[in-house]
C-alpha cells in the first residue's frame, strides 16, 4: 500500500482497480476459435467456448507467454507453478455458468507500475495479474439501450473465450485523475509489449472499487489506517471502457458517495453500472463476496510450470526507460520525449529518422508536424505503416534544403495525408522546388523597389516592416524561397 498523508476527520477517496486486458492472440484461450473480427454474431464459436457437455479446454501457449511478458514489465513475481480455477456464477453471457480463471495461484504476483501524478512519479502496487477467459457480450435493445431500461437483450458469444489478463491493483488511488494516469501508463506498456491492441473495441475494460473513508483513525504520521480502509463499504463500478470514461465514472461516484455521507446516509456495498450516455452510475445488484463464487480447481487443466519462462522470454525496452534514454541520447526535453515514446511505432520511426538526419529536425517532424496532423485527422501512426518511407523522404527534402519547411508541412504533408500522394509527386505538381539564389535576389530587390513605405518604416526603426517585405518576396516566389534566407538578404540590402 502506498502511504497517503491525510488529516483526521477528512473524507478520503480510496480506489482500487481490476483492469481486464484482451490479449492479442490469433485464437481463444482454451480452444482454436479465431479472436478476429466476425461478420456475424455467434460465428467464432465451438463446443468448448459454448460450454457444451464433454468439451475439454486446452491452454493457448501464446496467452501464457503474453502473461509472462506482462509480469516482467510490472516486475511481478512469477511462481514455479500456476493453476486455473472455476469461478461459479450465473450470467447470460457466461454459457458454462462458470468462468475459467485463476484464484490463489495466479501467474503474476506482487508487482508495481510507476505513474506520474501531479509532476511526481510514485509506484502503484499491483497485487496480482491472472489469466482468464472473457465472457460473451450483451447488446441491450430498445428503451434507450440502457441496462436498466432495455426492452430485451441479445447475446453474442464471439468474444466468449478470448484470453484476458486481469490486473488487480491495491487501493492506492486517491482521485479519479490518478486512475486515468495509471491506465494511460499501463496501456503504453502493454502496447510496447505487443500483447494488446488499443484500437480494438473493448480491448481494455475496467471495474473500479471506490470507497469514501473517514480518516478518523489516521496515525501520528497522517497515514490512512488499514482498519479505516477495510471498514468502509465499497461500491464496484462496471462497464468502464476508456481512460476518460474511468475518470468521469469515478468522479460521479465519488460525488454521489460524499453527498450521501454528508447527509447521514449509509453507502450501500453494491455493484453499479456506468451509463456513459447519461453520465451516471446505476445500481445493478448487491456486491458479491469471494465466498459467493465457490472457487475450486479446474480439473480439466493441469498445473502449469512457468517459472523458467521468465528467463526465456524477452521484453522490449519499455516506455519510461526509452523516454529517459531519448532525453539523454538525443538531448530532448521532457515534452518531446513523451510524445516520441507515446507508442512503440512512433518511437521506432523517430529513431530511424534520427539515425539519418539531425535528431532535432527528426524530433520536430515526428513530435510536432506528423503527430499534430495525425491527431487533427483522428488518425494513428499505424495507419501510415506502409507509407513511413514517404514521410522519411519528406524529411529528407527538408533536410537537404530542396523545399521549405513551411511548404513541406502546409502543402506536402497535408496532401500526403488527405490524398495519399507521394511527396516528390506533390512537389513537382505544385512547383514547390526551391527558387535559385538569383531569382530570390531579384525578388528581394523588386520588393524593396516596389514598397518604399515599408523601406522607410524599416529605416526609422520599425523592425516589423521587414516581415511585410519577406511576405512580398515569398508571394513573388510562390512560397518556394526560404523565409530565413529572404530575411537575411533583405537586411543585407537595407542595412547596406
| Residues 356 and 481 occupy one common structural domain | no
| Residues 404 and 444 occupy one common structural domain | no
Task: Using DSSP bridges, classify how beta strands 280-286 and 296-297 pair: parallel, antiparallel or unpaired.
Answer: unpaired
Separation between Cα atoms, residue 129 and residue 145, nearest integer Å:
32
Q: Is residue 238 part of a domain?
A: yes
pLDDT bin (cut points 50, 70, 90) of residue 351 is: very high
Q: Is residue 1 part of a domain?
A: no
Q: Contact at 8 Å (CB) between 335 and 341? A: no
Q: What are phi and psi of 179, to 5 degrees?
A: -60, -45
| Residues 294 and 243 occupy one common structural domain | yes
Write down the pLDDT at residue 456. Answer: 82
Checking if the pLDDT of 11 tops 50, the result is yes
pLDDT bin (cut points 50, 70, 90) of residue 219 is: very low
Mean pLDDT of 379-384: 91
* Per-residue pLDDT reduced to its tens digit, 272-290: 999 988 899 998 877 667 7
For CA atoms 218, 224, 229, 233, the dihedral sign is positive
Q: Convert 161-191 to b/e letters by CB count within 10 Å (16 or more is b).
A: bbbbbbbbbbbbbbbbebbbbbbebbbbbbb
Q: Model-level pTM? A: 0.82
Total domains present in the chain: 3
Q: Is residue 2 part of a domain?
A: no
Mean pLDDT of 140-150: 77
Q: Is residue 301 part of a domain?
A: yes
3-state helix, strand, coil in the chain (%, to 5): 40, 20, 40
| Residues 56 and 142 occupy one common structural domain | yes
Task: Using DSSP bridges, classify how beta strands 235-240 and 270-275 pair: parallel, antiparallel or unpaired.
Answer: parallel
| Residues 333 and 202 occupy one common structural domain | no
Q: Is residue 152 part of a domain?
A: yes
| Residues 63 and 152 occupy one common structural domain | yes
Percent of the chain at pLDDT above 90? 61
Of 406, 430, 454, the domain-final residue: 430
> 46: buried, middle or exposed (CB in 10 Å: 19+, 13-18, 0-12)?
middle
| Residues 232 and 365 occupy one common structural domain | no
How many residues are there in the chain?
Answer: 496
Q: Read off the C-alpha cell for 336.
A: 518531446
Separation between Cα atoms, residue 294 and residue 19, nearest integer Å:
22
* Per-residue pLDDT reduced to its tens digit, 43-99: 999 999 999 999 999 999 999 999 999 999 999 999 999 999 999 988 888 889 999
| Residues 424 and 391 occupy one common structural domain | yes
Checking if the pLDDT of 100 tops 80, the result is yes
* Per-residue pLDDT reduced to its tens digit, 146-197: 777 788 899 999 999 999 999 999 999 999 999 999 999 999 999 999 999 9
| Residues 378 and 449 occupy one common structural domain | no
Domain residues for 21? Answer: 11-312
Q: Is residue 373 part of a domain?
A: yes
Interacting residues of 302 by C-beta distance below 8 A, sequence separation 6+: 83
| Residues 456 and 378 occupy one common structural domain | no
Write down the pLDDT at residue 234. Answer: 82
| Residues 188 and 53 occupy one common structural domain | yes
| Residues 351 and 383 occupy one common structural domain | yes
pLDDT bin (cut points 50, 70, 90) of residue 1 is: very low
Q: To the nearest whole number, what is the mean pLDDT of the chain?
A: 88
Write down the pLDDT at residue 25. Answer: 96
pLDDT bin (cut points 50, 70, 90) of residue 491 is: confident
Of 312, 328, 353, the domain-final residue: 312
Q: Which CATH number belongs to the domain containing residue 485 in this structure?
A: 1.10.10.410
* Per-residue pLDDT reduced to its tens digit, 390-448: 999 999 999 988 888 888 999 999 999 999 999 999 998 888 776 667 777 777 778 78
Of 312, 341, 364, the domain-final residue: 312
Amino acid at each position: 500500500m502506498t502511504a497517503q498523508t491525510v488529516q483526521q476527520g477528512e473524507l478520503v477517496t480510496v480506489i482500487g482497480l481490476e483492469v481486464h486486458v484482451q490479449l492479442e492472440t490469433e485464437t481463444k484461450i482454451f480452444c482454436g476459435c479465431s479472436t478476429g473480427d466476425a461478420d456475424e454474431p455467434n460465428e467464432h464459436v465451438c463446443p468448448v467456448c459454448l460450454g457444451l457437455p464433454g468439451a475439454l479446454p486446452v491452454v493457448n501457449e501464446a496467452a501464457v507467454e503474453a502473461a509472462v511478458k506482462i509480469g516482467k514489465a510490472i516486475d511481478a513475481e512469477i511462481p514455479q507453478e500456476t493453476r486455473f480455477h472455476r469461478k461459479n456464477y450465473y450470467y447470460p453471457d457466461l454459457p458454462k455458468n462458470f468462468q475459467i480463471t485463476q484464484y490463489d495461484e495466479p501467474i503474476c504476483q506482487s508487482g508495481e507500475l510507476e505513474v506520474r501524478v501531479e509532476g511526481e512519479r510514485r509506484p502503484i502496487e499491483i497485487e496480482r495479474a491472472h489469466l482468464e477467459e472473457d465472457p460473451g457480450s450483451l447488446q441491450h435493445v430498445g428503451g434507450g439501450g440502457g441496462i436498466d431500461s432495455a426492452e430485451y437483450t441479445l447475446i453474442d458469444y464471439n468474444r466468449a473465450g478470448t484470453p484476458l489478463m486481469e490486473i488487480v491493483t491495491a487501493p492506492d488511488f486517491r482521485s479519479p485523475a490518478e486512475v486515468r494516469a495509471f491506465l494511460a501508463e499501463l496501456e503504453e506498456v502493454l502496447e510496447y509489449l505487443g500483447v494488446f491492441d488499443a484500437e480494438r473495441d473493448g480491448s481494455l475494460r475496467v471495474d473500479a472499487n471506490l470507497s469514501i473513508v473517514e480518516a478518523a483513525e489516521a496515525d501520528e504520521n497522517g497515514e490512512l489506517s488499514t482498519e479505516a480502509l477495510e471498514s468502509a463499504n465499497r461500491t464496484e463500478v462496471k462497464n468502464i471502457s476508456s481512460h476518460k470514461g474511468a475518470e468521469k465514472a469515478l468522479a460521479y461516484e465519488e460525488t454521489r458517495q460524499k453527498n450521501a455521507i454528508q447527509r447521514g446516509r449509509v453507502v450501500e456495498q453494491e455493484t453499479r453500472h456506468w451509463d456513459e450516455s447519461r453520465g451516471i452510475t446505476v445500481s445493478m445488484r448487491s456486491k458479491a463476496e469471494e465466498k459467493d463464487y465457490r472457487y475450486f480447481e479446474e480439473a480439466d487443466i493441469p498445473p502449469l510450470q512457468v517459472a523458467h519462462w521468465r528467463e526465456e522470454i524477452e521484453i522490449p525496452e519499455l516506455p519510461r526507460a526509452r523516454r529517459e534514454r531519448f532525453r539523454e541520447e538525443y538531448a530532448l526535453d521532457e515534452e518531446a520525449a513523451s510524445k516520441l515514446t507515446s507508442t512503440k511505432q512512433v518511437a521506432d520511426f523517430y529513431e530511424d529518422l534520427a539515425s539519418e538526419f539531425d535528431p532535432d529536425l527528426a524530433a520536430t517532424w515526428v513530435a510536432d508536424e506528423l503527430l499534430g496532423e495525425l491527431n487533427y485527422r483522428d488518425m494513428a501512426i499505424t495507419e501510415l505503416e506502409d507509407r513511413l518511407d514517404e514521410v522519411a523522404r519528406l524529411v529528407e527534402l527538408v533536410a537537404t534544403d530542396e523545399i521549405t519547411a513551411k511548404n513541406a508541412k502546409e502543402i506536402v504533408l497535408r496532401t500526403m495525408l488527405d490524398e495519399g500522394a507521394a511527396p516528390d509527386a506533390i512537389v513537382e505538381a505544385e512547383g514547390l522546388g526551391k527558387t535559385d539564389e538569383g531569382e530570390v535576389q531579384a525578388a528581394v530587390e523588386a520588393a524593396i523597389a516596389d514598397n518604399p513605405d515599408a523601406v522607410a518604416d524599416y529605416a526609422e526603426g520599425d523592425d516589423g516592416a521587414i516581415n511585410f517585405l519577406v511576405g512580398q518576396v515569398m508571394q513573388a516566389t510562390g512560397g518556394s524561397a526560404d523565409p530565413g534566407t529572404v530575411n537575411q538578404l533583405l537586411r543585407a540590402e537595407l542595412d547596406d
